[in-house]
């Protein structure tokens, strides 16, 4: 005569209860030990920051987030970001990481031999129309000789730019002015020589290309 399932449950009810109790304890223990996020100290922007901005203490603040795994490169102390230059626009309250500042990878992915040249935004008449990633032609217009424009660098890439000009921030209660805005472009060595030769006696014009 076959024994019913109900009879088996009755017979082994104590063992089944013990197994269920053990599983419940395991689930509760996992929840208590593995699902509570830890507080992580991070660095955030205190206001909207333009690309190419030289970061000072007034631009930064310490904050905390609750997370199991902060993303790679996240700044966890103020000194990691102080003095660095932003590589793109930063929103107020945004956590800062190594990908938000100009670093060793500034020219990553570009042709071998490419160099970075910094040009004062005051020397480029239309710098405010540009942003990081723009492809441009650079023309030189002489300020001392006959008028006319000369192409000095074709299809170069803007790798960092601050079009808002120097900004005044607060550091330890003192007024601090950020360094003058600048355009950083990736060029060949010969293009860099052309630009350097015209730094002091020319006004530059950037022509935006359709990349």
Report CA-CA distances (Å) from 65 to 29, 77, 127. 24, 14, 37
- Whole-prediction pTM value? 0.49
Q: What is the pLDDT of residue 152?
A: 92
Q: What is the pLDDT of residue 136?
A: 92
pLDDT greater at residue 211 or residue 38:
38
Other CB atoms closer than 10 Å to residue 113's CB: what's the count? 8
Q: Locate CATH 3.90.1210.10 in the chain.
A: 38-100
Q: What is the pLDDT of residue 151?
A: 92
Q: Looking at the domain 38-100, which fold is it?
A: Type Iii Antifreeze Protein Isoform Hplc 12 (3.90.1210)
pLDDT greater at residue 41 or residue 53:
41
Q: What is the pLDDT of residue 34?
A: 54
Band (pLDDT 50/70/90 cuts) for residue 202 is confident
- Stretch 113-133: mean pLDDT, rounded? 81
Gyration radius (Cα) of the chain, Å:
29
Nearest residue to 61 (alpha-carbon basis) of 82, 40, 34, 30: 82
Task: Give 123: exposed, middle or buried? Use CB within 10 Å, 0-12, 13-18, 19+.
Answer: middle
Q: What is the pLDDT of residue 101?
A: 80
Residue 196 CA to its chain's centroid (Å): 28
Q: What is the pLDDT of residues 10-36, one digit of tens each?
A: 555 565 565 666 666 666 655 555 555
């Amino acid at each position: 005569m076959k024994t019913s399932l109900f009879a088996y449950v009755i017979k082994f009810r104590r063992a089944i209860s013990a197994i269920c109790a053990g599983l419940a304890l395991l689930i509760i223990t996992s929840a208590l030990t593995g699902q509570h996020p830890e507080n992580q100290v991070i660095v955030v922007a205190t206001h909207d920051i333009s690309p190419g901005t030289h970061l000072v203490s007034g631009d930064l603040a310490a904050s905390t987030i609750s997370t199991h795994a902060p993303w790679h490169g996240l700044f966890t102390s103020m000194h990691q970001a102080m003095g660095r230059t932003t590589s793109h626009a930063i929103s107020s309250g945004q956590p800062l990481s190594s990908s938000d500042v100009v670093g060793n990878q500034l020219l990553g992915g570009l042709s071998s031999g490419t160099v970075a040249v910094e040009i004062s935004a005051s020397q480029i008449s239309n710098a405010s129309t540009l942003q990081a990633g723009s492809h441009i032609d650079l023309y030189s217009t002489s300020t001392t000789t006959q008028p006319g424009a000369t192409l000095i660098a074709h299809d170069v890439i803007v790798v960092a730019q601050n079009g808002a000009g120097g900004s005044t921030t607060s550091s330890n209660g003192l007024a601090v002015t950020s360094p003058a805005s600048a355009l950083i472009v990736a060029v060949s060595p010969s293009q860099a020589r052309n630009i350097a030769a015209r730094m002091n006696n020319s006004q530059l014009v950037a022509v935006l290309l359709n990349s």
